[in-house]
Structures are given as C-alpha cells and as structure tokens.
Amino acid sequence: MKVLVTGGAGFIGSNFILYWLKKYTRDEIINLDKLTYAGNLENLKTIENSKNYQFVKGDIVNKKLVDKVMKGVDMVVHFAAESHVDRSILDPAPFVKTNVEGTYVLLEAALKNKIKRFHHVSTDEVFGALPLHTEEKFNPQTAYNPHSPYSASKAGSDHLVRAYHTTYDLPITISNCSNNYGPYQFPEKLIPLAVTNLLEGKKVPVYGDGLYVRDWLYVEDHVRAIDLILHKGKVGKTYLVGGLTDDIPNRQVVEEILKIMGKGENFIEYVKDRPGHDRRYSIDWSEIKKELGWQPKHSFKEGLKKTIEWYIKNKDWWQRVKSGSYKAYYKKQYK
C-alpha cells in the first residue's frame, strides 16, 4: 500500500508516520510537507533513510505538485494545516489558504487519481463550545458552530471533504479529535509550552480565569484511532475521537504539571484572555468504541508523565525549536 501523508513533519503527522512504518513494514509513505514553522524533519530522523519512506517538500496548495505526488497512491491521510488558534487570531490568511484551499486542491487530485481512501484529520473545535458544569458532549449529530478563524477554516475543509463524497463519490472518512498532547508537539500549545517554560525556569501563562476545559488525548491513542478508521471505518463517515471523560480545567492541567515537575504554584501567571475563547470541549466517543472497538489507552496522568519525561530527555529538540522565529511570536502573543 502506498500512503500519501500531508503535514507529516508536524506533531501528529510525524507520530503517525513513525507508528505506521513500524507496524506496516511493507507499506510505502510519501510525506508532503511545506515545512512551515511547525514542520520539523528532526521528528523523522529515525526513518529518514528507510527505503519505504520519501519526503517531498512542498505546499498542498500547489496543484501541479499535488497531482504529481498523488500518482500511484492508494490512500491519503491529510494532516497538513495551520493548527494554532492564537496564530489564527493574529493572522487568519494562511489558515484560509492552507486549510480550505489546500484541502480543495488535495480533493481534486484525489478524484483525478482515483484514490481509494481520503482520510481528513479534523478537530472538535468545529463544534464551538459547551457550557461548564454540564454533562453535555459533542456527538456525531452536533451542529457545526466554529468560533475562531482556525476552527472556521477546519469546518470549511470538513464540509468540502463531505461534499466530495456526496457529489463525486470520493471515498472519504473524517475524524474530529480533541486536544492532543505528547512527543514532538510544538511548544506553542498549552502542555509543551508549560513544560518547556518550567524547564527554562519561566512561568506558565494561563489565559483568563484558567477555568477553560479541554478534552485531552495522548497522541498515540489518536494515531491508533486513525489506523482503525482507515482499515475498518465506513466510507463517507465521520468519527469523533476523544480522551478523558472527566473535566479538567486548564488551571488544574498546569497544577498537575507543576506537581510532576516539583514546582510551586508561584510558577503560574494569569494573563490576558484569548478573544472568543471556547469555554469547554468534551467528546462523546462511544460510537467509535462500539463500531471499531477503539478507546484511549492512556489516562491523563500517565500520558502527562510520559510527555514530561520526553521533553526532559529531548531538550535539544525543543531548545532548537524555541529559538529563532518562535521568540518573535512569543513576544507578540504574550506582550
């Protein structure tokens, strides 16, 4: 099987490629990635010389290139995206370009090249926000109501993917997943930002009252869900993938990290809130459990410990990532 992965040099994409090549040793992977600030080939160092792996540096918006790399491909797993909400607030343009137009270009090429499966990796943020202190969860019937330029652009791409199935019969699947964390996550997102700031002796910025709730999933559990959807999922279907069922406010997430890292609460710094900040996310993943037998393996505590250990062991990786252009972004965002 020949698999085209887009955005494979990013956080989830690189975890996916490492997992896939270890498990399906006869498969071939082409990784198409533009190497934006978030793309990092160091993540794939252990497999870069494998004969069944090929890297192509390029933009998913480039029709000619996309059509070329899709020749002879059986499956497309589409991760490439601009993925950070705060950056989408500072500048929405690349979000519309990559997430909406890029997905359209891939869909056209997938039709032309008779791709057997196009899997689109999306987010729970397309559903908007849930109220605090309720049992409500996002489920496959929840209406789309995105609030940030990021989530709106992902919602647009989801609709396009489904439309290509309904209109042109393209064999698609979609997964809408909650907040991932784990190795190789760019330290702009809450958990790696907190861990690496603490390793540098810096405080952790917590937005607003810190009572925002996310549904956290260890990245390996997400990758396993995609594997199952690709092998056993129903064509045309959207699957919701999530982690813990308990609500953990951001403040408590940071407190857990402080505890594991032996630091006091004086390392928390409450900062200005994010505009349009979604209050709460929670996912009902009972359908994928029932249909495909998937469920998360890592408890939040276990996943967090593994993640912190990884960042402690891989100081070189995040120190390189945190130097350069990231410094300018950090200054702008947390001024």
Catalytic residues: 124-125, 150
Residue 81 within binding range of ligand NAD, rule CB under 6 A: yes
Residue 148 within binding range of ligand NAD, rule CB under 6 A: no
Cα-trace Rg, the chain: 19
Joined tokens for residue 249? 């406010």
**Piece of the chain touching ligand NAD by CB under 6 A; list 6-14, 245-253, 256-264, 296-304:** 6-14
Quote the CA–CA distance of 282 and 245 in Å, as a whole number: 7
CB closer to ligand TYD out of 21 and 190: 190
Q: Do residues 155 and 100 make contact, with C-beta atoms less than 8 angstroms apart? A: no
CB closer to ligand TYD out of 14 and 179: 179
Residue 193 within binding range of ligand TYD, rule CB under 6 A: yes
CB closer to ligand NAD out of 94 and 210: 94
193 interface partner picked from ligand TYD, ligand NAD, none, CB below 5 to 8 A per type: ligand TYD
Determine the size of the site formed for ligand TYD (CB under 6 A): 12
Q: Do residues 326 and 37 make contact, with C-beta atoms less than 8 angstroms apart? A: yes
Among 21, 60, 194, 244, binds ligand NAD (CB under 6 A): 60
CB closer to ligand TYD out of 40 and 179: 179
Quote the CA–CA distance of 89 and 207 in Å, as a whole number: 15
- DSSP alpha helix (H) spans, 63-147: 63-69, 85-90, 93-95, 103-112
36 interface partner picked from ligand TYD, ligand NAD, none, CB below 5 to 8 A per type: ligand NAD
β-strand pairing of 248-249 with 213-214: antiparallel
Measuring CA to CA, how many Å separate 120 from each of 37, 46, 98, 193, 242? 22, 26, 14, 27, 16
Residue 36 within binding range of ligand NAD, rule CB under 6 A: yes
CB closer to ligand TYD out of 118 and 186: 186
Number of neighbours of residue 1 by Cβ within 10 angstroms = 14
Quote the CA–CA distance of 253 and 303 in Å, as a whole number: 12
Place of tokens 């390793």: 199
Among 15, 157, 179, 196, binds ligand TYD (CB under 6 A): 179
> Residue numbers of the site for ligand TYD (CB under 6 A)?
85, 179, 189-190, 193, 205-207, 212, 214, 250, 274
Contact residues toward ligand NAD (CB under 6 A) are 6-7, 9-13, 33-36, 38-39, 59-61, 79-83, 98, 102, 121-123, 154, 177, 179-180, 186
